[in-house]
Amino acid sequence: MNEVILETRGIRKAFGKQNVLDNVSLMVPKGCVYGLLGPNGAGKSTLMKMFSGMIRPDEGEIYFNGSKWSRDNLKDTGVLIEQPPLYENLTAVENLEVRTLLLGIPKKRIQEVLDIVDLKNTGKKRAGQFSMGMKQRLGIAIALLNSPSLLILDEPTNGLDPFGIQELRDMIRDFSDQGITVIVSSHILSEVEQVADYIGIISEGVLGYQGGMKQGKDLESLFTDVVRKNRGRELCC
Ligand SMILES: Nc1ncnc2c1ncn2[C@@H]1O[C@H](COP(=O)(O)OP(=O)(O)O)[C@@H](O)[C@H]1O
Ligand SMILES: [Mg+2]
């Protein structure tokens, strides 16, 4: 069995009276691409925010490399959750510079990450004038600055055209080839299917399926089964 980089045990989270995550036990093998699949509102972003220290679970534990998760693990984690956190009035380089200063990362890493996401030569253009795809790339560049061993990408294809989606998929595979574990969420089945080694299907806060992506696996019926089973669950306490 592979080593596990990230594990959750019995995670629960409620916002007010709404139970958003219910007993979620996730297991992410090291070096894999883990696709977290689920319809809108399933709880994907909420779960991913827990891996980046933005939200705490009400119950349950998170383990990173076998030890209880702590903020120290953020040094090894890169995140892009929901919208890229950009200063719209700054250029790509300046956006990255702010982070290198904050995190004490050598400046030369800026060109490296811009190369990786293929976002060179944007010069004086400010991030606010970037296309959606460029903003996403810059968001990924920011996530890569600290050379993470775990990269969390929350619906990274949002707003991308089919070509951009293909490029992103190739990028994710490259990260994985370099030994970076990637957790990527999507509400679109085909996006996860084409890139993931493992998948977790979450619906209404319940992880209804988790396992390896085997050839010929009928992901569509798995997905609909899980969604159907949890639809209309009594989510209010
Ligand atoms: N900060 C918050 N306060 C209240 N409800 C929230 C908050 N964040 C998320 N939710 C609710 O939790 C549920 C899951 O949201 P989310 O994790 O964003 O789903 P997904 O990313 O799968 O679309 C939704 O019903 C959403 O409205
Ligand atoms: Mg989301």
The DSSP output letter for 6 is: E
Say what the pTM is: 0.94
| H-assigned helices in the chain | 44-51, 92-103, 108-116, 132-144, 162-177, 189-193, 219-230
What is the average pLDDT across 73-81? 95
Q: What is the DSSP letter of 198?
A: E
Q: Minimum-distance ligand to the CA of 39?
A: 1
Rounded distance from Cα 18 to ligand 1 centre (Å): 9
How much of the chain is in helix, strand and coil states, percent to nearest 5? 35, 30, 35
Other beta carbons less than 10 A from residue 60's beta carbon: 16
* Counted domains in the chain: 1
Whether 13 lines ligand 1, by a CB cut-off of 6 Å, is no
Domain that holds residue 23: 4-236
Q: How far apart are CA 203 and CA 20, in angstroms?
A: 10
Across residues 48-57, what is the average pLDDT?
Answer: 95
Ligand that comes closest to the CA of residue 154 = 2
- Cα 58 to averaged position of ligand 1 atoms, centre (Å): 15
Measured from the Cβ of residue 165, the count of other Cβ atoms closer than 10 Å reads 18
Distance 42 CA to ligand 2 centre (A): 8
Average pLDDT over residues 33-54: 96
Kindly state the average pLDDT of the residues 145-152. Answer: 96
Q: What is the mean pLDDT of residues 160-176?
A: 91
Query: Distance between CA 96 and CA 102 in Å, rounded?
Result: 10
pLDDT at residue 237 greater than cutoff 50: no
Q: Of all residues in the chain, what percent carry a pLDDT higher than 90?
A: 76
pLDDT tens figures, 111-138: 999 999 989 889 999 999 999 889 999 9
Domain with residue 163: its CATH number is: 3.40.50.300
User: Can you give the pLDDT at residue 233?
Assistant: 67
Atom of ligand 1 nearest to the CA of 43: 17
The per-residue pLDDT of the chain, averaged, comes to: 92
| Lowest mean pLDDT, pick from 142-146, 208-212, 221-225 | 221-225
The protein residue with its alpha carbon nearest to ligand 1, atom 5, reads 15
Whether 26 shows a pLDDT value over 60: the answer reads yes
Pick the residue whose CA is nearest to atom 17 on ligand 1: 43
